[in-house]
Structure 1
Amino acid sequence: MSKKSAFAAFTALAIGSKLWFRQGDVPTSAGDAPIAAVKVNAEDVVILSGQFGWSIDAHHMQGVTAEQLSDATIGSDGYHRAWGLFEAEYAKLQVWTSDPTVKRTRVKKLKPSLTGQRFTIMTVPEGAEATLRVGMKGTMVQTGAETPMVVLDGYHRTVFIHVSHLGIHKRRPKMTMDRLAPQTKEVLSLLKAKGSLTAIEAGGVIRARSLAKRISELKEAGVDILAETKHDHTGQRYARYHLQAAA
């Protein structure tokens, strides 16, 4: 709602407008939840789907159509149930022009450039195929809409999933030689000096952690490295990385 007072917002509405109001001074009648209503004159509203209020007849309604009152509550006396909204009497009055009880999904806008973008399913859409699960990952193949076409890893065909159910992976800039971390540069220097390297050797010489990740960064930056699988005397498998000579 705007910065206007609740009564000013109500006054600005045209006759026949649908609104929601909460009357905190009479919780035993209206309750604490917002009540849907239709404005029928300068001070009165007809209650929709509610069981409280006084009786109001057509004589007090100014230009309201039967269609606008189609959901209105009619009492056993044959009259519509109504409520008066007055500026001075009800200090706790609140007025909305859209349903405040409906939680609106924030829509993410997608650009065509997101084609090829990776994502993870965060929630499963209502009525979706039973094979869809939270945590499944995939790739967008057609974007620019709120419900893009996607390919899920290991799934048999393309599907459409609204973006509100997807956690879009943040794209990391491509690794280049000038963006290498200091320890990754140390791994490259050691590889150049020794020609090949294992995780144990890297940890012992330069205290490098996660050599496989450092090697992955070097490969992304364009360094030609070959991984060789070997076994120690106990049969434990390990990798030895060889620096390939430039062509």
Structure 2
Amino acid sequence: MSKTSAIETFRSLAIGSKLWFRQKDTERYGEKPVEAVKVNLHDVLIVGAQFGWALDRSDIYSPVTEETLSGATKAASGHYLGWGIFDNDLQVWTTDPTVKRARVKKVRPSLIGQRFTIMSLPEGADPAIKVGMRGTMVQTGMETPLVVLDGYHRTTYIHVSHLGIHKRRPKITMDRLPPQTKQVLDLLKAKGSLTAIEAGGVLRARSLAKRISELKEAGVSIIAENKLDHTGQRYARYHLRAAA
């Protein structure tokens, strides 16, 4: 891009536009500015640099807000460090006055209430804290959140690098039942009751207890009856509770 077209491009940008520098255009002056803000038709304010001359607030066009100027570099006098745009080799500050695109800030959801498992132990941890213990975060927004551990007598701080965060899943509802869970419900309705052996033989369900838990989460009322088989082994028979 030629020197003249760079000036024309700069002047066509809106007041308040954020721009960025190319290294090769500013290396003769020392430090490389991070970015700049257009404040009038001839000048920019520099962000994160230690050169340029000072511009008084009165030299800046009113469309530039105080929020926009909050990142601009200030001289010791309180004036903003500026840079001028003129038609000569020394003052064309960039051959490509490109608008700096605004980033969309990703807002992380709160981890308060998030479950986790301890994957490793921090140095100096209480001997009562073990790998594999589970817990819940009670304060987040930091790399070392305050947590409460299942079966541990008090809250403690553990760095997130030691924690395996449990993936949150949406609550199971009747219209979002997994396919095998629906089959278990249909079999319960047909038979009235069900054991793990019966579910495994008919549906090849390996974990009836988990399917029952999902049905309860979805609002199905189920009663577990603990029984003994002929060998003395305990097992559970699950019954659908009749609607009132």
TM class, shorter-chain normalised?
0.5 to 0.7
State the match for 1:198 in structure 2: 195
State the match for 1:229 in structure 2: 226
CA 1:12–1:164: 2 relative to 1, 3 Å: farther
Q: 1:238 aligns with which of 222, 235, 240?
A: 235
Displacement of 1:212? 1.2
Displacement of 1:112? 6.8
State the match for 1:132 in structure 2: 129
Percent of aligned pairs with the same residue?
Answer: 79
2:110 is paired with a residue of what secondary structure? helix
User: Hey, which of these two has a bigger chunk of helix by percent?
Assistant: 2
State the match for 1:158 in structure 2: 155
**C-alpha distance in 2, partners of 1:184/1:190?**
10
After superposing on structure 2, the runs of 4+ consecutive aligned residues of structure 1 that deviate more than 4 Å are: 11-14, 109-112
How many residue pairs get matched? 148
CA 1:128–1:200: 2 relative to 1, 3 Å: closer
Displacement of 1:12? 5.8
1:151 is paired with a residue of what secondary structure? strand
CA 1:207–1:168: 2 relative to 1, 3 Å: closer
Contact 1:110/1:143 (<8 A) preserved: no
Aligned residue type for 1:218? L
Contact 1:111/1:144 (<8 A) preserved: no
1:145 is paired with a residue of what secondary structure? coil
**C-alpha distance in 2, partners of 1:179/1:204?**
25
CA 1:245–1:129: 2 relative to 1, 3 Å: same
Output aligned runs, 1:199-214, within 5 Å: 199-214=196-211
Deviations 1:6-34 (A, max 9, x none): xxx9x9679xxxxxxxxxxxxxxxxxxxx
**C-alpha distance in 1, partners of 2:231/2:113?**
44
Aligned residue type for 1:151? V
Output aligned runs, 1:30-49, within 5 Å: none
Displacement of 1:214? 1.1
State the match for 1:188 in structure 2: 185
**2:136 is the counterpart of 1:117:** no
Displacement of 1:130? 3.3
Aligned residue type for 2:118? I
Gaps of 5+ in 1: 15-108
Give TM-score, length-normalised by structure 2.
0.53
Gaps of 5+ in 2: 1-22, 33-105
Deviations 1:197-241 (A, max 9, x none): 111222223333211111111111110001110011111111100
Displacement of 1:184? 1.2
CA 1:207–1:164: 2 relative to 1, 3 Å: closer
**2:165 is the counterpart of 1:168:** yes
Displacement of 1:148? 1.5
Output aligned runs, 1:51-62, within 5 Å: none
CA 1:142–1:112: 2 relative to 1, 3 Å: farther
CA 1:159–1:112: 2 relative to 1, 3 Å: farther
Displacement of 1:166? 1.6
Contact 1:141/1:150 (<8 A) preserved: yes
State the match for 2:39 in structure 1: none
Aligned residue type for 1:113? S
State the match for 2:213 in structure 1: 216
Give TM-score, length-normalised by structure 1.
0.53
RMSD: 2.9
Deviations 1:22-80 (A, max 9, x none): xxxxxxxxxxxxxxxxxxxxxxxxxxxxxxxxxxxxxxxxxxxxxxxxxxxxxxxxxxx
Displacement of 1:110? 9.6
Aligned residue type for 1:220? E
Deviations 1:88-109 (A, max 9, x none): xxxxxxxxxxxxxxxxxxxxx9
